[in-house]
Structure formats: structure tokens, C-alpha cells
Structure 1
Amino acid sequence: MESFLFQASVYLLAAVIAVPLAARLGLGSVLGYLLAGIVIGPVFGFASETSDLQHFAEFGVVMMLFLIGLELEPRALWDMRHRLIGLGGLQIALTTLAVMGGGMLLGLAWAPALAVGLLMALSSTAIVLQTLSEKNLMQTGGGRSAFSVLLTQDIAVIPMLILLPLLAGVAEPVLGLDGSIQRVVNGTHAVADASHGAPMSLVDGLPGWGVTLVTLGAVAAIILGGVYGARPLFRFINAARLPEMFTAVALLIVVGIAFLMLMVGLSPALGTFLAGVVLANSEFRHQLESDIEPFKGLLLGLFFITVGAGIDFGAFLSAPFIILGLALGIMAIKGAVLFGLSLLFGLRGRDKWLFTLSLAQAGEFGFVLISFSVQQNVVTSMLGERLLLVVALSMLITPLLFILYDVLSSRLVDKDDRPADDEIDDEGPVIIAGIGRFGQIVNRLVQSSGFKTVVLDNDLKTIQLMRRFGFKGFFGDPNRPELLHAAGIDKARVLVAAMDDPAAVTKLVAYAKRLRPDLHVVARAHDRQHVYALYQAGADDIVREMFDSSLRAGRYVLENIGLSEYEAAQAQETFFHHDRHTVRELAGLWNPNIPAYDNAPYIERAKELEKDLETALLATLDNKSDAA
């Protein structure tokens, strides 16, 4: 018990220190967990034995795929069939052949080279999906394509486990730790067992057709149970009025399906993903997500820590250049295959690089397949140990590739994706930059009042939709000086900066006021911090996008808790004027290079102004009461 508590304390302390630091440095939580594992494992030796814990932590991957399935309706999964079969299938086949060819050039026989190609064709579902979710990249073209490939890879693990024993018994020369060629036939020293074998099996001893029937029956049971059994079960649990029972039943669904999949020899992650897809249309979907999410996050973090803690730096340091060269070589081969497929399937710009860089590593299923290959005498123990290091090292490098993607994305202009800007042949007294949910209301009001506007937006679909409703607009980036001049900024009286991107709004305001200090600029602000930036940029009128609607909602609250409509309106008016005064005062104390919570003069003045607001509101209401 003491040992368990010590280990738990070490893991949690490492995560609490390393992950926030990595996130604050912009490195992402995954790299933070991996570094935490390296510190408590190879560096200080607090977590030298991680294989058993890693099996438990891998359940986080199972939960993650269940949650992803909940976000996909069956129709959406059917729409992905071409990417699953085409993009995913080609990635596995081409990567396997390319890595196999590289292995044979290094002296491996064809059978172990094929085994290495198969296990290196897989990528890390845990790292990739976690990072895509953190960076809000799942819904991009590159993110959806990466997810399709990962799902295909998880399915492909099953035929790989069937194929690998058929490759046993072939002699294989391997590179020794000193770089020399060694020939080892049917090595018997096994790498630590990382398989997911279940203590019970429903298919042991059955003929091939029996295994198929039982497997199909298990899948059918999951589908039918989700369609017909989930709603009655959740309604029964709901009747108990015990929130913890929802958590219990959510865990039961995931654990039970994972165990059923193990008993029929299938991937637990694949089974829970299928269950999630089936339950995607359920009215209890959001309850399931909220119950599973905390467990998923903790177990995934634990999994990444065990990967970092399990890296054998002693073996790595005995042949660092060989192992690092193998890891980088395999990642380069996978990257080349992925890049070619991205071109073949029409991915461009940022999506192309996201797809290529995110999937270039080996995956957690590689640990399973390597150990299984050693047990089946497909590869030798020496090669297996080296491959384990290559897999772990490639996973450790992956967060750095996402950082590289961020750098490329910030500098990359998707010229291939972007049509040519419209030629602007119109001018007016009002230029509206950005015609989304904010700008369109401004445009309709101004035009309906009889004034001409020139509308600019860099979203072609929005401009096309606007034109279908009879409104004229021009496609182009409002921050391009030549576009602004063509729109008549030299003669315009008012510029409305209403784009969705706060940084783009600030940039436009600053440029417009430098160009024409007399131009009246109305700017859309995302939040109070953005208001300060726009104030310093020179905007004349600043409108927080949620402020007026929130103020109106507050007025309705006051009207329904005892104030008259007139009193609520006066309170709203007082709050409005005081807030405008507050923002102007605090804008002079705001420093974009200092967090607000570290800016003592700003905080002190904000407290004083908040007290002034309370006093002003009480005085307003007292005056109205006396007048009555």
C-alpha cells in the first residue's frame, strides 16, 4: 500500500509540475507528460517498472475513442468510407512496403522486414488525437484526414496480429549494438510482454468459421445493445436520482465492451469506438461525455508518463546514433508517404503539413506488436529491444513536429486554396470589413437607412451567400492596403472593422488611423482586453460583441426580480455609462506585456471603479424611489 501511494504521489507531482510548465511554454500537454515520465523514470529512477501500469493507462486511449465515436453519427462515419479505405489503406500499404524495403537494405530478411514495416505503419492515436483536440484542429481538413487514417490503423491491428505468426521461423541478420552485422535465427529471449491478452476467451479452440461467427455476434451485440438497450438503461438509472450512478453506468459501458472485445480477440479501442458511434444519436450522449472525460484525461496523461518513464536510456546511449538514425529514418519514410498521399487526395496548404507531420511517428500499438513478434520468433529479442526504443523515441519527437507545424502555419499563406481577390469597382462613404454575424447587422441597418456601403470579407463562402440574398460584397483580405484603397478608404467617412479575428481587427484599425487620422473607425472587440488594444490603436467607437446583449439580459433579470421597467432601464443606462468611463480609465493602465493579475495599479483602480459602480447604481435607484 505504501509503495502504491508513493508511486501515485510521484506520478501526480511530476504531472502537476511538468504539464503546466510545458503548456505555458507553448509545448503542449503531451510533451509535458513525456518529459515528466523521463524525469521520474530514467533520470531519478522513481518509476523503473512501468509495463503493468502502462496496460492500465492504455485504457485512456480506449475511452478517448469512445468519446470520439460519440461525436460521430453513423451517417458521418459512412461519409468517411472513402478516406478510411482509400487514404488509410494506402498509407498502411505504402508505409509497410517502404519500411520493409529499408529494412532489407539494412540486411533484414524479407519476413522480419515485413513485420517491422507493418508495426511502423501505425501511428500514435493517443498523442495525435489529444494534440489535435488541444489545438482545435480536429475539424480542419488535415485533422479529419489524420483521424481517418488513425481509425483505419486501429482496425488494421487485427489482421496484423493474424499475419505475424505466419512470418515466424525466417533467419534474420540484424545490426549489432556496435554496428556490426549479426545473424540470429529464431531468437528466444522475449521482450517484456505488452500484449492485451484477456484472462478469458470466447474463441479459443474454435474453428475459423466459429471464430468469425462469435466475433460478428459480439459486434452485433454492441450495436443492438446501443440501439435498443441504452435508452431503457439510462432511464432506469435516471429514476434513481443519483448522479454517481450515471458515472458508474458510463464506466460499465466502456469497461464491459472493452472486455468483450478482448474475449473475442478484437481491439478494445475499436469496440468502444463502435459503441460511441451507435450512441451518438442518444439523448444521453452529453451526459456520457461529461462522465467519461475526466477519466480519459487522467489515464491518457498517465499513459504518456509511462511512455517517457519506460524509455531505456542505457540501451539508447550504447548506440545513440544508430537508434536515433533509425527513428528519424522511419519518420522520414512515413512523412514522405504521407506527403505524397496528401497531394493525391487534394490536401493543400496547412492541411497538407498537418496531415504529414502529425502521423509521422510510430504508435502505442507498436509496443504490442513488437512484443508479439518477439514471442512468435518473427524478430529477435535484440531487434525487438531496438524497435521499442525507436517507437518510444518517435513518440517523444512528435510534439516537436506539432510545434514545427505551428511555426509553418503562422508563416504559411494557402495560396493554392485562396482564389484571387475581387476587383473592387465601387466606393461608398462606409466601408464594412467583415460580414459575419456582427457585420451583417451593421450593413443591413446602414443600407436600409439609405446609405451606401462597400463590404469586404476574406471568406469566399460568406460573400457568395451574401450575394444570393441580393447584397453586394467583395472577396479579399481587408488588411491588404491595395484592397482598402480600391474600396475608397481615401474618401470614406466611416470604417467598420468587424472581422472575427481580434488580431486582424486591431491591425486594420492601427493601419487605417495611421493612413487617415480623420477617418471615423468603429471596431468590433472580442473582450475587454481587446477593447484596450483597440483603444491604443486609435479606434473611435469600440463595441464589445457580447456587451449590449448581456446588458439587455441583465435588464430583463432586474425587471423580473422586483424593479419596474423604468427602474431597470435607468440601472442599465447607469451601468452602460459607468462601464464606458471604466474602460477608458483602465485602458491607460493596461499593459499588453504584463498579465492583468500581475498589474497592481490596474487591479487597484479596477476595484475602486467597481465600488463607484455600486454607489452609482444605489444612488440611481434611491433617486427614482424618492421621486415616486
Structure 2
Amino acid sequence: MEHANTSFLPSLLLFLGAAVIAVPIFKRIGLGAILGYLIAGVAIGPSGFALFTDTGTIQHIGEIGIVLLLFVIGLELQLSRLLAMRKDIFGLGGLQLVVCALVIGGIAYSLGLSILGAAITGISLGLSATAIALQVLNERGELQAPYGQRSFAVLLFQDMSVVPILALIPLFSVEMAHASHEGNGLLNAAIMIGSIAVVVLAGRYLLNPLFRILASTEAGEVMTAAALLLVLGTALLMQWAGMSMALGAFLAGVLLAESQFRHELEADIEPFRGLLLGLFFMSVGMDINGRLVLDNWLALIALALGLALVKSVSVAAVFRLMGSSRLDALRSGILLSPAGEFAFVLIPLGAVYGFLNAEQAAFAKALAALTMLFGPLIAAGSERLLKRFAPPALTIEEDYSDAHGKALVIGFGRFGQVVSQVLRTAAIETTIIDKDVEMIDVASRFGSKVYFGDGARLDVLRAAGAADARVIAIAIDNRADAVKIVEMVKAEFPLTEVYARAYDRQHVLALLTAGVDYHMRETFESALAFGRSTLEALGVDNMEAEEIIDDVRDRDAKRIVAQQQGGIYAGIDLVNSKRLLKPEPLERPDTKGVTLNRDAINAAEEAKEDEETG
């Protein structure tokens, strides 16, 4: 046992040391962490100093990083978000992948690859590097720019498309064809469908109750263990059923996308995902055939630059066709030109199933790695050129260094402007953020300082001082984002009170489920004030009108409580209940009242006293 531990530790120290040295250097010179991992892998692998030669074992461990990456992607795919971005995700993203795969696959076929080999090469190199593109956008501060949002939609579609691609590749293999002829095809299909059904049913009915029980124990390490058990367990189930591990992890993520534990799970998985994904890229670098690169360096460099050019033009043409401006289309084309992370998954898989021979697979992987190496350099150089042709841009306040205050207001539309005016009139230190560039420009003309930022992003909330704010006021009109912000704030800043603008009654119920401290439907109080004025115009006195309005408000609050417990149709009897009136005689008296004189009153009082003493 001691010998085994001793032999394991040097390898672990070797990987950690290579990463610690290479990654900071590459990030410092602007080439990104991924390239640092790749070069570190090349340096310690068989093509470098040959400090480590068992690349297969490391690659299998590193593939868990891809599994965790797809789980996190699944967590981000809430139905509301998909619906809001459906045109760009499925329209623009689908067209981009089809065009790039056809163009690159056609070129590969003309160079002598088989049809299936050209197809897998076209798809693999047609995908883009999500990590590199998002890093560039974050460094530029343009993730919320129009081209940044559309590029993100394309990357999201590509990440989603990897799952069915991984599932379809075995169906075209010789082994699967033989299995089908032997009569096992239906059995295999049944096992696959049954496994997916098990994951879906478990995610629908078991996962939330399970995590609720675990959360009640207040043991953070148990939640982390449960998250890893969930991801790796579903991945192993899918692999046993004959599908990819990534498919299982992706399904688990999607099933938990609407869960109240989503942010906690993502935070638990993130450190493992980052480290294992880095290990995966190091294993890819170790697996690059150094002799092949040295023998064909000129052809590889020419092909890598040519691939970047072809892909940039293809992507730009698709973006232009789908309505982007010429400048945004060019930026997106250049940004998405490097091959993606999943090329290093799909190409080896194509070799396993016989679509590519060993030399072709090695050449394609080296080509993908070179495009990732050149991508950030091309993006940085081209941006300087493109800025010369760009129109003057609006200066947006993105430096949060002086953003501090007791209140943080998210959204500076009609609602947010009034809220901000109230807070500033009371001399409350207030920070305001909004992601609408035009609204920020208008605010600056009237002397209001509004920071640019998407309040639905945790890093933006942290930078804007959410951790120090006593109250966070959510004044945006996007219902899904408002609920998401409440969930994040309650998870990350539990001592901060959250006030939220609500759109309607169903939105109120969603906000209450998320843990909001105070909510206000955007038209409710104004409608009550309007109704009170209408009552007064109809002759109802001020005091009675106020009592009626209070009664309506009280019944509405009781109905909200009932709906929290019994659903949207609960408390329906409270909607049109009439206010109790002052008691009146049931029948009008037949005789007319007569006013008594003083003598009659005195006589009546004396008779009453005699009766009582009698």
C-alpha cells in the first residue's frame, strides 16, 4: 500500500505543478487557461519531456470533466430561458452548425476522407470553443452586447447538440449494425429508452425531496457528495445502457434546472468541473502526436489558418442572413472560429467506431488544437482592426469600484425610476444597475448614474455590492429573471432583504416560493387608488371608501396565502365577497314615528323606574 501511494503522489504532483506553472503564464499573456492546459500536457507528455506516458488512464479520468461540464450546461437550460432565446438558439445555432459542418466536411471529403469520416470531422471542427469565446467576451465586457448574446445562443445550441451527436455516432458504427442484424437492436433500444425513463422519473419525483432532506442536515459536504453521486450515477447508467456518459449528466442537469437547489448544486460541482476539465485538456495535449506535428508543421499551420478563415466567413454569413449587422457578424465569425472542446471527444470516438483511422484522427486533433491556439490571437488582432470601422460607441459605466450603498436597485425602467427617486429623496445610498444601454444613456442625460450589468448574473451582483446591501429591490419586468435573482440572493446573501416587483398573481406565487421578503404587483396599488377615487366620485364618503379599499386589500392578501397552499384557484370565494354593511331594520314600520314632548318623556322615564323598583 505504501508503494502504491508513493507511486501515485509523484504523478499527481507532476500534473498539479505543470498546471500551476503553465496556466497563469498563458492567462497573463492573454491566451487563456485552456491553451495553458494543452501546452502543459504537451510538455509533460510523450511528445515533450516524456515525464508521463500513460495517457489513456488520465484521459478517462479527464473525461469526467466533460461529464460535469454537460451537467452544468443542463442546469442552465431552464425552459423559460430556452423559450426566450429560442429563435437564436435553434434557428441561428442550428443553421450555423449545419453550414459549417457541410463546408468543412466537404473539404475533408475532397481531401480523401470517407463520407462518415468527413461527416464526423466536419461536425467536430464546426463546433466552437465555448470556454475561449466566453472568456474573450467577458474580458471585453461584451457578453450582453447583441453579438455577444447571439454568439452565446450559438454556443448553447452547440453544447446541446453534442448530446444527440454522441448518442447517434454508435448507431452508424459497424458493431451496431451487426448487433441489429443479430436481433438485439430492439433490446438495445428498449434498454436505452428504459434508462432515460428511469432518469426522468427519478428527477421528477425523487431528487427534490432527497435534496430537501439532505439540506435539512446542514452538512455541506453531504450535499456535495450527493451532487457528485447524482452526476456520476446517471452518467454510469447511460454508459451501461449503451449511450454516452455525457447524455446522463446532461439529463440530470436539465431535470434540476427548475429546482430550488440548482445554484447550490452548481456551486458544489464547479471546483471539480474546472479541475477535471483542466485535466482533460492536459490529457489531450499529452495525446497530440509531436512527431506528426513536426513532420507536417507547415501543412498544419496552413490548414489551421485556412480553417479559421473558412469558419469565420461561414459563421459571419449565417449571422448576416439572420439579421445581424455587418460588424457584429464579423465579430461573431472570428469569435467562433476556433474548434471546440468537444472536438477532442468526437474525433477519438470517430476513430473508435472506425470512421477515421489513427493517423487521420491524430491529424484532426492536432488541427483542432492549433485553431484553439490561434483563436485568441486572431480575435485580439482583428478587434483592433474592426474598431477602426465601428461607429462611436456609448460609454457605459462598468467599473463598480465606487458602487456601494444600503440599497441595490436592479432595473431602471418606469418602475425602477420611481423607486430610485424615493430612495434618493430620502438620502439613501443607492446603487442602480440595468442592462439596457439606451436606458443608461437616457439616465445619464438627466444626471442619474446607472451601472451597466445583468442583475441575473451572480458575479455582477457581487461586483455591484450585493453582499453589503441591506435591501435589494428588483424592478425589472422579466418574470423569470426576477425569480432567478431572488433565488440567487437568498442562496448567496441570506441576510439581505429582497423586494421584488411582480407582474401578476402567478408571478407573486413564484417569488414567494423563491423566498422574496416583500412583493408588489406593479398595477395593484395604483388600481386600488383609482378605485377609491371612483367611489368618492359616486358619493361614497372618504372614511367608508378607505374601509372598502382596506377590505379589498385584506381579502387579496388572504387569497394569496390560500393560493400558496392550494394552487391558483384556491380562495376564489374571496374575490367578490361583499363587505358587511351596517345593520338596518328588516321591515319598514307600518306606523309613522311621532316626536314625544318633554312631559311625555318624563312620564315614560318615571314609569320605567317604577317598573324596575316594583
Same fold (TM > 0.5)? yes
Counterpart of 2:8 (choices 4, 14, 37) is 4
Question: Which residue of the partner structure matches residue 507 of structure 1?
Answer: none
SS in 1 for 2:254: helix
Give the partner amino acid of 1:310.
Answer: D
Counterpart of 1:142 (choices 131, 141, 151) is 151
Q: 1:234 to 1:153 in 2, by over 3 A?
A: closer
SS in 2 for 1:56: helix
Counterpart of 2:279 (choices 302, 307, 330) is 302
Counterpart of 1:13 (choices 17, 20, 26) is 17
Aligned-residue CA RMSD in angstroms?
A: 4.4
- For residues 43-442 of structure 1, the aligned pairs below 5 Å read 43-108=48-113, 110=115, 112-125=117-130, 127-128=132-133, 140-163=149-172, 165=174, 207-348=184-325, 352-353=329-330, 355-404=332-381, 407=384, 413=390
Shift of 1:12: 0.8
Deviations 1:546-570 (A, max 9, x none): 999789xxxxxxxxxxxxxxxxxxx
Shift of 1:288: 1.1
2:42 pairs with 1:38 = yes
Q: Hey, what's the Cα distance between the residues in 2 that align with 1:368 and 1:66?
A: 16
Computing the radius of gyration over CA atoms, which structure comes out larger, 1 or 2?
2
Q: 1:134 to 1:253 in 2, by over 3 A?
A: farther
Query: Which one is further off, 339-348 or 312-321?
Result: 339-348
Shift of 1:338: 1.3
8 Å contact kept, 1:80–1:148:
no
8 Å contact kept, 1:87–1:341:
yes
8 Å contact kept, 2:127–2:343:
yes
Shift of 1:133: 6.8
Q: 1:301 to 1:414 in 2, by over 3 A?
A: farther
8 Å contact kept, 1:167–1:378:
no
Q: Hey, what's the Cα distance between the residues in 2 that align with 1:61 and 1:354?
A: 27
Deviations 1:394-429 (A, max 9, x none): 2333343454476568667468x99xxxxxxxxxxx
Calculate percent identity across the aligned residue pairs.
Answer: 36
Q: 1:324 to 1:545 in 2, by over 3 A?
A: closer
8 Å contact kept, 1:96–1:121:
yes
Q: 1:73 to 1:321 in 2, by over 3 A?
A: same
Q: 1:131 to 1:295 in 2, by over 3 A?
A: farther
Q: Hey, what's the Cα distance between the residues in 1 that align with 2:111 and 2:362?
A: 17
Can you give the 5+ residue segments of structure 1 that lack an aligned partner in the other structure?
169-200, 419-434, 450-456, 464-473, 479-486, 488-494, 503-525, 531-543, 552-628
8 Å contact kept, 1:48–1:310:
no
8 Å contact kept, 2:35–2:373:
yes
Q: Hey, what's the Cα distance between the residues in 2 that align with 1:75 and 1:548?
A: 30
SS in 1 for 2:127: coil
Q: 1:312 to 1:31 in 2, by over 3 A?
A: same
8 Å contact kept, 1:338–1:355:
yes
Q: Hey, what's the Cα distance between the residues in 2 that align with 1:212 and 1:138?
A: 41
Shift of 1:252: 0.4
8 Å contact kept, 2:117–2:355:
yes
Q: Hey, what's the Cα distance between the residues in 2 that align with 1:546 and 1:287?
A: 18
Shift of 1:448: 8.8
Q: Hey, what's the Cα distance between the residues in 1 that align with 2:274 and 2:138?
A: 12
Question: Which residue of the partner structure matches residue 31 of structure 2?
Answer: 27
SS in 2 for 1:87: helix
Query: Which one is further off, 377-386 or 222-231?
Result: 377-386
Shift of 1:285: 1.8
8 Å contact kept, 1:349–1:412:
no
8 Å contact kept, 1:34–1:308:
yes
Q: 1:292 to 1:351 in 2, by over 3 A?
A: farther
Deviations 1:178-218 (A, max 9, x none): xxxxxxxxxxxxxxxxxxxxxxx9x9976444433332332
Deviations 1:114-143 (A, max 9, x none): 443343333445555676677776653322
Q: 1:219 to 1:356 in 2, by over 3 A?
A: farther
Q: Hey, what's the Cα distance between the residues in 2 that align with 1:145 and 1:75?
A: 17
Give the partner amino acid of 2:72.
Answer: L
Q: Hey, what's the Cα distance between the residues in 2 that align with 1:401 and 1:31?
A: 14
Alignment length (residue pairs): 429
Shift of 1:3: 3.4
- For residues 488-567 of structure 1, the aligned pairs below 5 Å read 496=447, 498-500=449-451
8 Å contact kept, 2:88–2:154:
yes
8 Å contact kept, 1:143–1:354:
no
Shift of 1:30: 2.3
Shift of 1:253: 0.4
Give the partner amino acid of 1:158.
Answer: A
The TM-score normalised by the length of structure 1 is: 0.58
Q: Hey, what's the Cα distance between the residues in 2 that align with 1:254 and 1:226?
A: 12
Query: Which one is further off, 312-321 or 237-246?
Result: 237-246
Shift of 1:151: 1.8
Q: Hey, what's the Cα distance between the residues in 1 that align with 2:141 and 2:424?
A: 36
SS in 2 for 1:265: coil
Deviations 1:410-468 (A, max 9, x none): 667468x99xxxxxxxxxxxxxxxx959x95899589999xxxxxxx9956527xxxxx
Q: Hey, what's the Cα distance between the residues in 2 that align with 1:210 and 1:138?
A: 46
Shift of 1:298: 0.9
8 Å contact kept, 2:167–2:247:
no
Query: Which one is further off, 391-400 or 293-302?
Result: 391-400
8 Å contact kept, 2:88–2:153:
no
Q: Hey, what's the Cα distance between the residues in 1 that align with 2:241 and 2:468?
A: 59
8 Å contact kept, 1:165–1:373:
no
Q: 1:383 to 1:282 in 2, by over 3 A?
A: closer
Q: 1:218 to 1:134 in 2, by over 3 A?
A: farther
Q: Hey, what's the Cα distance between the residues in 1 that align with 2:218 and 2:181?
A: 42
Q: 1:374 to 1:282 in 2, by over 3 A?
A: closer
Q: Hey, what's the Cα distance between the residues in 2 that align with 1:6 and 1:496?
A: 61
Deviations 1:330-353 (A, max 9, x none): 332222221111112223477534
Q: Hey, what's the Cα distance between the residues in 2 that align with 1:204 and 1:81?
A: 40
Question: Which residue of the partner structure matches residue 598 of structure 2?
Answer: none
Give the partner amino acid of 2:154.
Answer: S
Q: Hey, what's the Cα distance between the residues in 2 that align with 1:327 and 1:46?
A: 28
8 Å contact kept, 2:170–2:176:
no
Q: 1:277 to 1:329 in 2, by over 3 A?
A: same
Q: Hey, what's the Cα distance between the residues in 1 that align with 2:69 and 2:156?
A: 12
Deviations 1:272-323 (A, max 9, x none): 2232222122222222122111111111121222223332222111121112
Q: Hey, what's the Cα distance between the residues in 2 that align with 1:447 and 1:550?
A: 15
